[in-house]
Amino acid sequence: MRKSLLVALAVCVVALFSGSVALAADNWLGTWKLNVEKSKASPGPAPKSLTLKFEATKDGTRFTSDGVSADGKPMHGTYTSKFDGKDVPWEGNPEADTAAPKKIDDSSYENVWKKGGKVTITAKAVVSKDGKTLTISQTGKNVKGEAVNANMVFEKQ
């Protein structure tokens, strides 16, 4: 009985450690603040402020965004994904009701946004080699049908 308890405990520790290592390799985990001066948004203007937070959870990575829009309104959005390219509900994004983030490597991912099942925007995120900058490039069409071509630069907090 004692031996099987020790084996079970060892298996749990290995499983827990393995999951932590896999999640820790995603270099975008953490909190990122928009550098408005270095960012370009078309159509603009860019938000007055925006903070992104990526947290590892047992259900995948929880993404949360909080900020102030160009017209001074509060913004908040959230989704949880395994970054496997499958659609997940996205609350609070007027341009999308689902997100489909897919990990490319430890420092980059692609996220396909959809509204009503139709692709609106594709975002590509890349963390710099020094881990201090997250650049998100967005292309597509917003819900108004306007072409989107944005390059948003975030700094690690």
The Cα–Cα gap between 150 and 145 comes to 15
- Measuring CA to CA, how many Å separate 121 from each of 17, 22, 94, 100? 35, 28, 12, 11
Which residues make beta-bridge pairs with 31? 53
Second-level CATH architecture of 2-156: Beta Barrel (2.40)
Ranges of the chain with pLDDT below 50? 1-24
**Residue-level pLDDT at 108:** 98
Condensed to tens digits (0 to 9), the pLDDT of residues 49-88 reads 999 999 999 999 999 999 999 999 999 999 999 999 999 9
Look at residue 44 in the predicted model and tell me its pLDDT: 87
Q: Please tell me the predicted confidence (pLDDT) of residue 144.
A: 92
Within 13 Å and on the Cβ side, how many CA atoms surround 4? Answer: 1
Residue whose token pair is 């609106």: 120
C-beta of residue 46 within 8 angstroms of C-beta of residue 40? yes
Task: Please give the pLDDT value at position 10.
Answer: 40
Q: Where are the domains of the chain?
A: 2-156
Is the entire prediction scored with pTM above 0.85? no
pLDDT at 25: 73
- Looking at residue 107, its pLDDT comes to 97
Say if residues 123 and 100 touch (Cβ distance below 8 Å).
no
pLDDT reported for residue 86 = 98
